[in-house]
Amino acid sequence: MCDSDFYIHQDEPLVIVISGPSGVGKDAVIDRMKERQLPFHFVVTAATRKPRPDEVNGVDYIFISHDEFAEMIEKGELLEHAIVYNDYKGIPRSQVRQALESGKDVVMRLDVQGAETIRKLCPDALLIFLTAQSEHELVQRLQLRKTETPEGLKLRIATAKKEFNRIEAFDYVVTNKENQLDETVDVINAIINAEHHRVKMRKVTL
156 is known as an active-site residue: yes
CB 19 within 8 A of CB 130: yes
CA 65 to CA 154: how far, in whole Å?
A: 32
Stretch that binds a copy of itself, among 27-35, 44-52, 92-100, 185-193 (CB under 8 A): 185-193
CA distances from 68 to 56, 75, 96 (A): 19, 11, 19
Of 28, 82, 119, 189, which one interacts with a copy of itself (CB under 8 A)? 189
Write the binding mask 120 to 159 for a copy of itself: x where contact by CB under 8 A, - elsewhere: ---------x-x--xx------------------------
Least separation in angstroms between residue 170's CB and a copy of itself is: 5
CB 20 within 8 A of CB 130: yes
Beta bridge partners of 107: 16, 42
| DSSP three-state, residue 12 | coil
Active centre residues (catalytic):
52, 145, 156
**Where does this chain bind a copy of itself (CB under 8 A)?**
2-7, 9, 129, 131, 134-135, 161, 164, 167-168, 170-175, 187, 189-191, 193-195, 197-200
